[in-house]
Structure 1
Amino acid sequence: MLRSDHGIHAVLVDQGAISFRPCSMPLMTFMEDQGCIRDSSVLGCQYNYLSWDEAFHLLGCALDYSSLTGEILMGSLITGDQQNRSPLWFSLPQMESRMKRRRIINIIVNKCFESHMQPIVNILEETIGYEFLLRPSLSKDHFRPSDLFDVARETGLQSQLDQAARLTAIETSARHLPRGIKRFINFLPSSIENPNQCLNQTFAAMEKMSLDPRDFVFEVVETERITHMSHLKSIFKVCRNMGISMALDDVGSGYSTLEEMNALRPDYIKIDRSLVNGCSRNLFKQEQIKLIIQQAYAFGGKVLAEGVEQREDFEFCLNSGVVLAQGYLFGRPCRPAE
């Protein structure tokens, strides 16, 4: 929907058609006439103003870029994968961002990525599991995973990308790992509005592939401060009820704090690489690592050291109570052999 101070108050893109709402027509009447559902989240969005010329220019760019025609929605650039579903409404900033980030948007919509696996070892350096990390597909456009998720957040595609990455990891694990090997998979809690509904496809994929949910560990990866702890706890509860273990990533750095660790009580606590790297020679890092381990053990959490590159750091972590480790010392993320 696009609003204007020159008469056009809305633009609806659906099934290849463009509809304009005149200023004299109430918004709800326009939505009903166009077959839109009454969605309070739509009416609650904030939209920018633009003129007739700007509206035509913006939509013209989208039509020119899109290779799709009238039988389906206006193109993946604006709508994502929304065939045979309700029309989508985007704020102007989201639409503009999709225009500017065409290459990255194509990667997200066309799923030009795959899962690479990095080993996780125990105190005997035996591989007990793998973390699944998003990487470009072979012969596809290169990208940095952080860029992919940044663009997805800007353009309203975060939930779609998060779910696609999760399903890709599950499918990869089904092809390459036997039962009993742990599969650590990242997820963004802000992309899961209703865990009972949003995770249904994830649970269905595990069941379809005859996978044991107890082999899975879902890692909370969040680039924004967690403001709704009750919501995150509800996600933990839904996953644990299915038999899936939960992990808190990057503890000791960024937004993963000791306070959040104690509130969530995850099954696995992953100490951030910034603390692990060089910890054998840094007293401050040693104190922080010991504090994390002490508090994690108080509620029965297993502590994993991330980003281990030096054996001296690994040995200090082991002597301090870490039971699992991950890093270049044991193996880099790599594409599983077919």
Structure 2
Amino acid sequence: MPPTDLRAGCSLCRDADPLQFDFSYAFQPIVDVQARRVFAHEALVRGPAGEPASSVLSRVTADNRYSFDQACREKAIRIAASLNLESHLSINFLPNAIYRPEVCIRSTLQAAARHGFPVERIIFETVEGEQVSDGKWLAEILSEYKRIGFKTAIDDFGAGFAGLNLLADFQPDMVKLDMALIRGIDHSPARRAIVAGVVSMCGQLAIEVIAEGIETRDEAQCLSDLGIRLMQGYWFGRPQFERAVREADIALPDMGR
């Protein structure tokens, strides 16, 4: 069931208090190593002057979670449009802030239209560390977003709620492997076997796999050998405050053997 009483839904949209703090975004590239291009930018919340995410997230409470989630969507789209972002835009969202997905998405659609950012280039990604006790409710949210035309992604696949049970109820466009599986994968037969199994399973379900947290060329090469083409991590590019990363800014390696 939704985390909020449905009877409060319309009043949340209409009467929500404005946030009492400001924030902005840094953008980190997700690279397609086969096509040798930037596939997407993940919008990562920062303070208004580039302060760490913790300085903002520590101020999110049960009372302002809904307003924060809505403001995040609008601001990420607005900044991406101002940067003339040509890639996809991945926006983290708070499942626990949503009471009815078809209603809560309206302001996002309005922002996309207002700023001229195509809906089909927006990816909604579950927030790292956001605990969701009802996997079926998360599946319902993501299903509605996918029906509207957004792309969907499950973050930290293999950790917490983002596991196999969720995939049984909903197949997102993408899953992002938990970075604990990525770290040192080139030296870990166990990690390689697990990731190979996930890649095979996702291939049968028509789900794209993204590997995040990549810090070395050997990790990237190993993941490419396992059939993963979408990668993210400091080795490709660190988050840039209020700035998009272009192909020319990234030393894209040849992942061929």
Q: Does structure 2 conserve the Cα–Cα contact (< 8 Å) formed by 1:248 and 1:261? A: no
Q: Does 1:274 align with 2:180?
A: yes
Out of 148, 170, 183, which is 1:242 matched to? 148
Equivalences for 1:132-281 in 2 at 5 Å?
132-138=43-49, 142=51, 144-146=52-54, 148-153=56-61, 155-179=62-86, 181-221=87-127, 223-281=129-187
2:23 corresponds in structure 1 to: 113
Shift of 1:146: 4.3
Q: What is the one-letter code of the residue matched to 2:60?
A: A
Q: Does structure 2 conserve the Cα–Cα contact (< 8 Å) formed by 1:258 and 1:292? A: no
The CA distance in 2 between the partners of 1:136 and 1:187, in whole Å, is: 17
SS in structure 2 of the partner of residue 327 of structure 1? coil
Shift of 1:302: 0.5
Alpha-carbon RMSD across the aligned residues, in angstroms, is: 2.5
Which ranges of 4 or more aligned residues in structure 1 deviate by more than 6 Å?
none
The CA distance in 2 between the partners of 1:150 and 1:136, in whole Å, is: 11
Give identity over the alignment, percent.
26
Q: Does structure 1 conserve the Cα–Cα contact (< 8 Å) formed by 2:146 and 2:152? A: yes
1:70 corresponds in structure 2 to: none
1:36 corresponds in structure 2 to: none
The two structures have a TM-score, normalised by structure 1, of 0.63
- Which has the bigger relative contact order, CA under 8 A and spacing at least 6? 2
2:201 corresponds in structure 1 to: 295
Deviations 1:237-295 (A, max 9, x none): 32122211100001122332132234321101111111111110012211221121121
Q: Which consecutive residues of structure 2, in runs of 5 or more, have no partner in the other structure?
A: 6-11, 245-257
**Cα 1:169–1:322, aligned 2, differ >3 Å: closer, same or farther?**
same
The two structures have a TM-score, normalised by structure 2, of 0.82
Shift of 1:149: 3.3
Q: Does structure 1 conserve the Cα–Cα contact (< 8 Å) formed by 2:136 and 2:169? A: no
SS in structure 1 of the partner of residue 129 of structure 2? coil
In terms of Rg, which structure is larger?
A: 1
Q: How many residues end up aligned between the 2 structures?
A: 233
Q: Which consecutive residues of structure 1, in runs of 5 or more, have no partner in the other structure?
A: 1-39, 42-81, 89-107
The CA distance in 2 between the partners of 1:225 and 1:135, in whole Å, is: 21
Q: Does structure 1 conserve the Cα–Cα contact (< 8 Å) formed by 2:24 and 2:242? A: no
